[in-house]
Chain A
Amino acid sequence: MHIDVQHLATLSRLSVSEIEREKYERQIGSILEYLSKLGEVDTTDVPELAHPAVLENVWAEDEIHERSSEQRNAMIEAFPNRAGDLLSVPAVFEE
Chain B
Amino acid sequence: MQTIREMRQAMDASELSARELTEAVLKDIAKRDGDIHAFLSVSETAAAEADEVDRRRKNGENLPALAGIPIAIKNNILVQGWKTTAGSQILGNYVAPYDATVIFRLRQAGAILIGATNLDEFAMGSSTENSAFGPTKNPCDPERIPGGSSGGSAAAVAAGFVPAALGTDTGGSIRQPAAMCGVVGLKPTYGRVSRYGSIAMASSLDQIGPIARTVEDAATLLLAIEGKDPKDATSAELPDTTIPELLSRDVKGLRLGVPKEYFVEGMDSEVERLVREAIKAHEAAGAEIEEISLPHAPHALAAYYVVMPCEVSSNMARYDGMRYGFSASGESLEETYRLSRGDGFGAEVKRRIMLGSFALSKGYADALYKKALKVRTLIKRDFDEAFTHVDAIIAPTSPSVAWKLGEKVEDPLTMYLSDIYTISANLATIPAMSIPCGLAHGLPVGLQLMAKPFAEATLFRLGAWFEAQTK
Contact = CB atoms under 8 A, between A and B. Distances in A.
B354 interface: yes
B188 to A, nearest CB: 13
Contacts, number: 171
Interface residues of B, number: 70
A31 B416 contact: yes
Contact of A15 (B333, B338, B380): B338
Contacts of A9: 338, 342, 354
A9 B191 CA distance: 33
Nearest to A52: B429
Contacts of B466: none
Determine the main DSSP class of A at the interface with B: loop
A83 interface: no
A23 B427 CA distance: 29
Contacts of B334: 13
Contacts of A41: 296, 299, 371, 374-375, 378
Most buried by B among A3, A49, A81, A87: A49
A92 B322 CA distance: 12
B191 to A, nearest CB: 6
24 contacts: A5-B354, A8-B354, A11-B354, A11-B358, A12-B341, A13-B338, A15-B338, A15-B342, A15-B343, A23-B347, A31-B305, A31-B351, A31-B412, A35-B359, A38-B372, A43-B371, A43-B374, A48-B373, A48-B377, A50-B373, A58-B233, A60-B230, A60-B233, A78-B323
Interface of B: 80, 94-98, 190-191, 204, 230, 233-234, 236, 296, 299, 302-303, 305-306, 313, 317, 320-327, 332-334, 336-339, 341-343, 345, 347, 350-351, 353-359, 361, 367-368, 370-378, 380, 411-413, 416, 427, 429, 453
The 6 closest A-B CB pairs, nearest first, are A15-B342, A74-B97, A48-B373, A80-B327, A43-B374, A78-B324
